[in-house]
Amino acid sequence: MTVPKKVAAIHDISGVGRCSLTVIIPVLSAMGIQVCPVPTAVLSAHTGYGEFVMKDLTDYIPAALAHYKKLGLGFDCIYTGFLASSEQIDHCLEFFEGFPEALKVVDPVMGDNGISYQTYTRELCERMSELAAVADIITPNLTEAAILLGERFPEKDADAEMMRDWLVRLSEKGPRMVVITSVRMGQGSICTVGYDRETGRFWKTGGEYVPISYSGSGDMFASLLTGSILEGDSLPVAMDRACSFTQSTIRSTFSLGTEWTDGIMFEPELYRVNQYSRLGGYTEL
């Protein structure tokens, strides 16, 4: 047995509707990784419910950082996600500076389906690129990639050339690895595309489109990708592992007929999170 890797997870916790920390903690824990939650906000339900109560924890983050520095501990990874205020960008940057050895993963959570989330201000969206600039890995969905690049959300299917262009331009902003999720690439497929600047190679994983977008799917994908990279997997293997588990969990959730707001139903599936066959369900983009 080895000592589990340790991830500081800077995300919100939502009481109802699986997403963010209620997905990240079980998924990474099942992969044998310790999650140290640094909550950015507590919500009664995620923003997809339209109505919710939210307690902003902006002041908490620098206090937690100061305590961890005082304890003299280290993290293998700092992983950021849903933020509650633009000041939290500064606090995440301080966390990254405080643990320079840690892998920096930024899930630039801002929106989905071409629309930004209710609580996200223009300033917060604009400042998200400051976090992306210092990250090692970013995992935007197509909506968030468009916001980071100042592009319009593509209404039509994307093609490989456009996605390679977006991946390179996002990587030029700083991160070595860029993975864009929820990309429709024709023939009823929904893909994930990735680029590793160090190898100069582009990758694609994907599967059949399911006509419901369950909350927490992006959090599950980014957690699996992070866990897999921390285990030493290459980018295409990490993408495939994350994509295949997330997609099969989406399919089993779909079979149950629950509301999208209820989220991705991972509880019955978690036992097989490490059963990746490494058959290589990825191709070059």
Q: Which is nearer to ligand PXL, 19 or 193 (CB)?
A: 19
State yes or no: residue 117 binds ligand PXL (CB under 6 A): yes
What is the footprint of ligand PXL within residues 18-77 (CB under 6 A)? 19-20, 43, 46-48
The closest of 34, 43, 47, 49 to 13, measured between CA atoms, is: 43
State yes or no: residue 190 binds ligand PXL (CB under 6 A): no
Task: Write each residue from 202 to 231 as x if it is in contact with ligand PXL (CB under 6 A), else as -, in one continuous string.
Answer: -------------xx-xx------------
Sole residue written with tokens 């160090």: 198
| Cβ at position 173, least distance to ligand PXL in Å | 21
State yes or no: residue 85 binds ligand PXL (CB under 6 A): no
Task: Write each residue from 87 to 116 as x if it is in contact with ligand PXL (CB under 6 A), else as -, in one continuous string.
Answer: ----------------------x-------
| Cβ at position 246, least distance to ligand PXL in Å | 12
State yes or no: residue 233 binds ligand PXL (CB under 6 A): no
Q: Which residues bind ligand PXL (CB under 6 A)?
A: 12, 14, 19-20, 43, 46-48, 82, 109, 117, 215-216, 218-219
